[in-house]
A and B are shown apart, each in its own frame.
Chain A
Amino acid sequence: MKAHAFLPCVVATLLAFSLPASTSARADEWGTLKGRFVFGGDAPVAAELKADKDVEVCGKHKLLAEELVVGADKGVANVVVFVRDKGVKVHPDFAGPGDKVVLDNKDCRFDPHVAVVRTGQTLVIKNSDTVGHNSNVATIKNSPSNNLIPAGGEAPVTFSSEEAIPAQVTCNIHPWMKSWLVIRPNPYAAVSKADGTFELKNVPAGGELELQIWHEKAGYVGEVTIAGKAEKIAKGRKKVKVAAGDNDLGEMVLDANLFKK
């Protein structure tokens, strides 16, 4: 009993000590990592998908294969970049499990094509379409799930373990629908946008971090070319030095051959 009465006191003391520590999260201790993935070769033309189920709804949309999306400026979209270091220091802005992440079944495709969640963060799989879907989440370390998501419905999912490889999410009713779920133990994961750019904000500065780079068609990217110099990166692992402020990795060319598997 006595010990319990004492507890708030201990917590208060701990808080008092941790406060100056968190205010010391000064700008010079954190940096932003950014860069752009560029396709090394002639930009491929995305194949058109055939919507042969629920044609009256799904047939209205022009559905394109999204396994390799290269923009007009050769930017490669949907490349995943995350910090691999275990126990990496996390910026106080990321305290807590984070906001909900939404994976929508919209226009008979998954939006976004690649979603990122942290362990403990809630992923809401929802359905904005007028037809029913199901979302088959093929995780390996976490319990896989496959729930019906009726029109307008949603299903929350959380994950307790990180996954070494992004998990595929598919819809069995509409077999062309595919997406990927990146499950990481920290908030430092990004997906390149349509122009190929990505940004990891508030990563710890003043040291080296190990990035891991993945793309659904290339797998863990084995080689990047920066300023004309090809660099082999086994298992997509690339060490980078991070200074306070902006760290621009520049244009990273991913050779067309990497995607031929």
Chain B
Amino acid sequence: MTFIIMHRRTSHTLAGLAICLTALTGCGKTPPAYFRPNMVEATKQRLTPDQEQQVSTILLAMFGTPDEPVCLPETGLDEAKLRLAAGPVRSDIVGRKNGLYREHCAHCHGVTGDALGPTAAFLNPYPRDYRPGVFKFKSTERADKPTHADLVRVLHKGIPGTSMPSFALLPAAQVEALAEYVKYLSIRGETELALMRAYFELDDDAQGKLPETREFLIDETLAVVADKWKAAADAEIQVPPMPADIDLVASIAKGKELFYGGKANCVKCHGVTGLGDGQANDYDDWNKAIVEIGKELSSGATAAREASTSGMSPEELAEHRGQLAWLEKFGKVLDGDALEPRTIPPRNLRHGIYRGGRRPIDLYYRIHAGINGAPMPAAKGTVPPEDIWHIVNYVRSLPYELDGELGADKPMLAKDRF
């Protein structure tokens, strides 16, 4: 299994080493797990091999390996929890289960949390890539991180309508450890992105090398990422409770008006039928990034192929060849480090399946803050809280609505409805 999820571009020496090791130790041993570098970003930023190496070295010092996680105090993470989640699946000296992440999560989310585990390609929707640090289902404002409790809730409840199962049967301490480990992978992934992007901003006299100072690496990079996670604990959206004496029928009617109205504009994407068929060709942020790179690459490749080399000076020719080589490399990176992009359909609100939780307050959070990473915008500031509650009530009534915009005044067969 470790071989399957091994990084495709492992250097030849490493592969060679693996073969030697296998020869020496027989078939029982697997090479140690390692974090895959974010090759899409590295290639996008045109990092040199030396720069890729510098990022890997810095990350190794800051975060350790999948078997031996390191957590610096600035991350605010609990190392004991991380150790329970990290490493291969095994029992420790007191018979306690270790390696929880690899047991329960890695096959989809990948050892690195890059959503490139061996089963990822077969799932729809794809598993979450933790590295950009963007999470959808949470009680905080759109751009804020989820609270620890939000992550625990997703683990506990699973995500209905997706391949994410519930881990409610695990002991609470194990769920805790997994939530902590997801934060660890996320902070690591975001730090990696920040480091890779920092090369672009270097002055010429830095000679393409990031300063390995505490100020830059910790204060300006790691702490900036980690502080957002720490801030999430107090960033829960303050929701005015739904009025206890609310007239549900009237509220649903008001919510329906808002749903179709120009202010909340739900209808534009969720469709006049609420079946989620209003806006079908949009992407979420993870897929959009790949789509845009793909477009840039294909037009760049066409331009490079069409360019005439006859009038080029030796320098221009060298640059042209460099560009061709880069285009080819990026094409290969996308082949192995990204899955085929998929559009994100707006939710079909007549299924009664709510990915982020079915409690009224879950729907309130989604409407108020929008969904981070997805096209769903935030209604806060535009739609007042009492109106958001009306929309919540209408949306919750949609799976049971028999007449209305579907145009049927009698119960419909499920096959006709969906």
How many B residues are at the interface, by size bracket? 20 to 34
Binds B, one of A107-115, A131-139, A194-202: A131-139
In the complex where A146-B142, A153-B382 touch, is A164 in contact with B201 (Cβ < 8 A)?
yes
Q: Are B375 and A131 in contact (CB under 8 A)?
A: no
Q: Which of A219-235 contact B (CB under 8 A)?
A: 234-235
Residue of B nearest to A164 (CB): B201
- A149 an interface residue at 8 Å Cβ cutoff? yes
Q: Are A146 and B377 in contact (CB under 8 A)?
A: yes
Of B144, B262, B269, B381, which is within 8 A of A147 by CB?
B381
In the complex where A132-B262, A143-B143, A175-B282 touch, is A148 in contact with B377 (Cβ < 8 A)?
yes
Q: Are A149 and B303 in contact (CB under 8 A)?
A: no
- A47 an interface residue at 8 Å Cβ cutoff? no
**Cβ proximity bits B311-329 to A, threshold 8 Å, 1 near / 0 not:** 0000000000000000000
Residue of B nearest to A151 (CB): B262
Residue of A nearest to B346 (CB): A172
Q: Are B375 and A150 in contact (CB under 8 A)?
A: no
Count CB-based A-B contacts (< 8 Å).
82
Q: Which of A132, A140, A149 has the most CB of B within 10 A?
A: A132
- B173 an interface residue at 8 Å Cβ cutoff? no
Cα-based distance from A164 to B372 in the complex (angstroms): 22
User: Which residues of A sit under 8 angstroms from B282, Cβ to Cβ?
Assistant: 172, 175
Q: Are B281 and A140 in contact (CB under 8 A)?
A: no
- A18 an interface residue at 8 Å Cβ cutoff? no
User: Which residues of A sit under 8 angstroms from B377, Cβ to Cβ?
Assistant: 134, 136, 146-148, 172
Cα-based distance from A166 to B12 in the complex (angstroms): 39
- B400 an interface residue at 8 Å Cβ cutoff? no
- A206 an interface residue at 8 Å Cβ cutoff? no
User: Which residues of A sit under 8 angstroms from B142, Cβ to Cβ?
Assistant: 144-146
Q: Are A132 and B263 in contact (CB under 8 A)?
A: yes
**Cβ proximity bits A173-193 to B, threshold 8 Å, 1 near / 0 not:** 101000000000000000000
- A260 an interface residue at 8 Å Cβ cutoff? yes
- A241 an interface residue at 8 Å Cβ cutoff? no
Of B197, B201, B281, B383, which is within 8 A of A148 by CB?
B383
Q: Are B263 and A146 in contact (CB under 8 A)?
A: no
Q: Are B382 and A136 in contact (CB under 8 A)?
A: no
- A2 an interface residue at 8 Å Cβ cutoff? no
- A243 an interface residue at 8 Å Cβ cutoff? no
A58 CB to nearest B CB, Å = 12
Q: Are B303 and A147 in contact (CB under 8 A)?
A: no
Interface size on A, residues (CB 8 A): 30
Residue of A nearest to B228 (CB): A143
- B200 an interface residue at 8 Å Cβ cutoff? yes
Q: Which of B372-418 contact A (CB under 8 A)?
A: 372, 375-383
User: Which residues of B sit under 8 angstroms from A140, Cβ to Cβ?
Assistant: 197
Q: Are A164 and B197 in contact (CB under 8 A)?
A: yes
Q: Are A172 and B269 in contact (CB under 8 A)?
A: yes
Q: Are A173 and B381 in contact (CB under 8 A)?
A: no
User: Which residues of A sit under 8 angstroms from B303, Cβ to Cβ?
Assistant: 257, 260-261
User: Which residues of A sit under 8 angstroms from B379, Cβ to Cβ?
Assistant: 148
Q: Are A53 and B382 in contact (CB under 8 A)?
A: no
- A155 an interface residue at 8 Å Cβ cutoff? yes
Q: Are B382 and A150 in contact (CB under 8 A)?
A: yes
Cα-based distance from A193 to B264 in the complex (angstroms): 35
User: Which residues of A sit under 8 angstroms from B268, Cβ to Cβ?
Assistant: 53-54, 132, 173
Q: Are B263 and A150 in contact (CB under 8 A)?
A: yes
B387 CB to nearest A CB, Å = 12
Q: Which of A39-79 contact B (CB under 8 A)?
A: 53-54
Residue of B nearest to A235 (CB): B200
Cα-based distance from A136 to B382 in the complex (angstroms): 15
Q: Which of A244-261 contact B (CB under 8 A)?
A: 257, 260-261
Q: Are B262 and A136 in contact (CB under 8 A)?
A: no
Residue of A nearest to B263 (CB): A150
- B246 an interface residue at 8 Å Cβ cutoff? no
- B207 an interface residue at 8 Å Cβ cutoff? no
Of A54, A146, A257, A261, which is within 8 A of B296 by CB?
A261
B267 CB to nearest A CB, Å = 10
Q: Are B378 and A148 in contact (CB under 8 A)?
A: yes
- B307 an interface residue at 8 Å Cβ cutoff? yes
Of B143, B200, B265, B378, which is within 8 A of A173 by CB?
B265
- B299 an interface residue at 8 Å Cβ cutoff? yes
Cα-based distance from A148 to B279 in the complex (angstroms): 16
Q: Are B262 and A261 in contact (CB under 8 A)?
A: no
A44 CB to nearest B CB, Å = 13
Q: Which of A134, A138, A140, A175 has the most CB of B within 10 A?
A: A134
Q: Are B279 and A136 in contact (CB under 8 A)?
A: no
Cα-based distance from A108 to B111 in the complex (angstroms): 44
Residue of B nearest to A132 (CB): B265
Q: Are B299 and A260 in contact (CB under 8 A)?
A: yes
Q: Are B264 and A173 in contact (CB under 8 A)?
A: no
User: Which residues of B sit under 8 angstroms from A165, Cβ to Cβ?
Assistant: 200
**Cβ proximity bits B260-303 to A, threshold 8 Å, 1 near / 0 not:** 00111100110000000001011001000000000010011011
- B127 an interface residue at 8 Å Cβ cutoff? no
Cα-based distance from A184 to B296 in the complex (angstroms): 26
Cα-based distance from A190 to B296 in the complex (angstroms): 25
Q: Are A148 and B264 in contact (CB under 8 A)?
A: yes
- B370 an interface residue at 8 Å Cβ cutoff? yes
Q: List 27 A-B contacts (CB under 8 A).
A: A54-B268, A136-B377, A140-B197, A143-B143, A144-B372, A145-B143, A146-B142, A146-B375, A146-B376, A146-B378, A147-B377, A148-B264, A148-B382, A150-B262, A151-B262, A153-B263, A155-B382, A164-B197, A165-B200, A172-B375, A173-B265, A173-B279, A175-B279, A235-B200, A257-B307, A260-B300, A261-B299
On B, residues with C-beta under 8 Å from A are 142-144, 197, 200-201, 204, 262-265, 268-269, 279, 281-282, 285, 296, 299-300, 302-303, 307, 370, 372, 375-383
Given A140-B197, A147-B370, A235-B200, list of 6 further CB < 8 A pairs? A53-B268, A54-B268, A148-B264, A172-B375, A172-B377, A237-B204
The 6 closest A-B pairs by CB, nearest first: A260-B303, A143-B143, A172-B375, A134-B377, A132-B265, A261-B300
